[in-house]
Amino acid sequence: MNALQGGAEIAPPLPISIFVITKNEARRLPRTLEAVRGLASQVVVVDSGSTDGTQDVALRFGAELIETHWRGYGPQKRFAEEQCRHRWALNLDADEECTPELTAEIRALFSAGEPPLDGYGFPIVEILPGETAPSFLGHSLAPVRLYRLDKGRYADKAVHDRVEFGRGAKTGRLRGIVLHHSIESLSQSVEKLNRYSDQQIADMVAHDRKIPALRIWIEFPVAFFRAYVLRRHFLRGKFGLIASINYAFFRFMRIAKAIEARLRTDR
């Protein structure tokens, strides 16, 4: 029987595990955990050396805190999967916020027991600084984030966090969205993109992958066009322009660092 609080029914937590990987996310993690409070019977936060009190935030929200070293995006999420005690898992990043519509849809999905498919994606929509709601016609991605752990696992790749399924697995898509608060500040965004591009280059060198040097001439304008026009950042005012330039510069620096790494290995 559901508990009652103030005359309203409180739905019991679902038999799923939510997991989040973190490092220095004390400011954004509360929003992530608050949005899914009471949704799952297990919430796991895997932290890799935070120094800003992220661990205290996780414990305050009743999450199971596991502290470990950084393995890379895919391996870190695989480690987090291993801490889940339920067959179904929901992965969120520390800068993401489930909307009430999505949590209600997930509850409805489990209302009759086991969901019919093996995994579900849902739109993840970027929220730029100054925005309180998704932009009209804003760009979104819909990766699978809710899935059966006996059917799919995160790829064991340092710079690619994507769920891979075995043969015959069936996936679907939910309509509710997740808000992605990816840019906390421009300084934080540049630092994050710089760190991520370093990890990409390290992975490329380790696997002997090469990028044609010709791309150094075209990467910036092509990436800017993709962000500003195709992803419709032109609808988002001044910060849409700033975000597009930031994205294009990150893509350019990725190529530049690849060329630099090749010069070093050719010596």
pLDDT tens digits, one per residue of 131-182? 888 877 777 889 999 999 999 999 988 877 899 999 999 999 999 999 999 8
Same domain, 193 and 175: no
Are 249 and 220 in contact, with CB atoms under 8 Å apart?
Answer: yes
Same domain, 60 and 173: yes
- For residue 133, what are the domain limits? 3-180
| Structure confidence at residue 1 (pLDDT) | 40
Are 119 and 90 in contact, with CB atoms under 8 Å apart?
Answer: no
Same domain, 136 and 196: no
Q: Which residues are paired to 18 by β-bridges? A: 43, 90
Amino acid at 129: P
Helices (H) and strands (E) in the chain, counts: 7, 15
Q: Which of 180, 208, 242 is the last residue of a domain?
A: 180
Same domain, 41 and 116: yes
Domain count of the fold of the chain: 2
Which 8-state DSSP code applies to residue 79?
H
70-84 residues labelled b (16+ CB within 10 A) or e (exposed): ebbbbbbbbbbbebb
Are 74 and 158 in contact, with CB atoms under 8 Å apart?
Answer: yes
Same domain, 109 and 129: yes
Same domain, 30 and 151: yes
Residue 82 pLDDT > 60 = yes
Residue 62 pLDDT > 90 = yes
Q: Which of 180, 208, 238 is the last residue of a domain?
A: 180
| Structure confidence at residue 267 (pLDDT) | 61
Are 92 and 176 in contact, with CB atoms under 8 Å apart?
Answer: no
Report the alpha-carbon distance of residue 25 to residue 92 in Å, rounded.
13
Amino acid at 202: A
Report the alpha-carbon distance of residue 179 to residue 126 in Å, rounded.
6
| Structure confidence at residue 16 (pLDDT) | 98
Report the alpha-carbon distance of residue 172 to residue 116 in Å, rounded.
10
| Structure confidence at residue 79 (pLDDT) | 97
CATH code assigned at 172:
3.90.550.10
